[in-house]
Amino acid sequence: MDVQTLLNSAPVSSGVMDIARCALSEREPRPDCPRYFHALEAALSEGTPVFATEFYTDTYRTASESGKWLAVSLMSNAEREGDGAKRLWSLAACCNDADDRQLLKRHACDESRHALLYLALLDLAFPGAVSPTFRKELDQLSPHFSMDQELFAVPGSPYAHEPSTDDYMQMNIAEIRTTIHHLMQRQALNAHCPSQNMAKTTKILDMLLRDELSHVAYTAVLIDRNAETASQSDIDARFSKRLRDFNRITEEELEQKVFE
Amino acid sequence: MPRKKVATSSLKGLTGASKKALQPLVDEGQAIQVIGRVVNGKLEIDSASISEFNRKFPNAKMTFVAVNAPFDPTPC
């Protein structure tokens, strides 16, 4: 599956496996990652995670019909991207492998930028939705990391440790869900964004999608590489556990809803 | 008309070119307003600002949010 096919599909039909395949297909040369795909397949054989179901996309579609809900959601995403950037920055700071450290640092910088991109989407889709003072404060949600900055472990961060295969598995699963969110957001923004701002909005969305897929791909490659020295059954079991964990977190998030 | 009231308030504090640029969007009914602030790096949305949909929809602060980093620091 390539990116265009992914974009042309309804979010719900873009399954977890499709997103992983699409992400890897974007890399040149294209890695096979047999151990990663084996683990992903084993995890998915336990059942479709809630974030890849029609119920999930239908719930999002209903909520995002409210412009105000979508505006708050964009701000919340900016906040989470900024928080994720700090976790990754701490992981990168503690990474002993120079190549992996650079990948994590790049990832942290991407997420730091994504926080600002979500706010740019807010500006484009909902001009004037927040006061100039509040808008200026929102920029603080990004830690403004850049590649020329020195890495440091964020004080008190529980993620200030040498990154493990387990960390890469969690990141990979989370990034796949974020890609599904992205596909849903594209449709929602298309419905709300003023037509004169749609071209800029699409450009930002394309940047975000390219990055999300790149993050799915590089973490898959690292999982596959690290799996070379482990048994496949152990890798399968750990990946399945993390998918179950993240599925439970997603279900708990959904329970925050109160339908009338 | 409630929408008109919200639209007008969203232009408060804007002058000149900004106001002129936003006016067509307001006229189209696109404008909305969210009140909040950022405290110690955390987003705080005014609860009254979102109460109208909080009863009906998933919590926009908690649900459908991006996660791009490890979500559990305890190794499995």
Report d(CA B10, CA B1) in Å as an integer. Answer: 15
In a domain, B70, yes or no: no
Asked if residue A27 lies in contact with residue A50, where contact means CB atoms within 8 angstroms, the answer is no
In a domain, B23, yes or no: yes
Residue B53 pLDDT > 80? no
- Chain A residues whose beta carbon lies within 8 Å of the beta carbon of residue B67: 80, 84, 174, 177-178, 246
The burial class, CB within 10 Å (0-12 / 13-18 / 19+), for A139 is middle
> What is the token pair recorded at A233?
């059954």
Name the residue facing A164 among B36, B56, B75 (closest C-beta): B75
Name the residue facing A257 among B22, B38, B58 (closest C-beta): B58
Where residue B22 falls among pLDDT bands split at 50, 70, 90?
low
Report d(CA A231, CA A33) in Å as an integer. Answer: 15
In a domain, B62, yes or no: no
* Residue in the block written with tokens 């800029």: A200
How much is the average pLDDT of A185-211? 96
In a domain, B76, yes or no: no
Please count the structural domains in chain B: 1
- Chain A residues whose beta carbon lies within 8 Å of the beta carbon of residue B50: 68-69, 72
The rounded percent of chain A whose pLDDT value lies above 70 is: 96
CB proximity under 8 Å: A 125-184 to B? 126-132, 134, 137-138, 140-141, 158-159, 161, 164, 166-167, 170-171, 174-175, 177-178, 181, 184
Asked if residue A164 lies in contact with residue B72, where contact means CB atoms within 8 angstroms, the answer is no
In a domain, B67, yes or no: no
Q: What are phi and psi of B43, to 5 degrees?
A: -80, 130
Measure A28 CA to nearest chain B CA, in Å: 23
Where residue B10 falls among pLDDT bands split at 50, 70, 90?
very low
In a domain, B60, yes or no: no
Residue B48 pLDDT > 50? yes
Which residues form the domain of B12?
2-54
- Chain B residues whose beta carbon lies within 8 Å of the beta carbon of residue A81: 66, 68
Helices H, strands E: what count in chain B?
3, 2
What pLDDT, in 10s, does the model give residues A118-153? 999 999 999 999 999 999 999 999 999 999 999 999
Give Rg (Cα) of chain A. 18
In a domain, B59, yes or no: no
Higher pLDDT, A176 or B52: A176
In a domain, B39, yes or no: yes
Prediction pTM value: 0.88
A172: nearest Cα among A242, A69, A72, A99: A242
Report the pLDDT value the prediction gives residue B15, as an integer from 0 to 100.
58
Report the pLDDT value the prediction gives residue B36, as an integer from 0 to 100.
94
Asked if residue A216 lies in contact with residue A175, where contact means CB atoms within 8 angstroms, the answer is yes
Report d(CA A140, CA B28) in Å as an integer. Answer: 31
Smallest CA–CA distance from B36 into chain A, residue:
A134
CB pairs under 8 A between A and B: 188
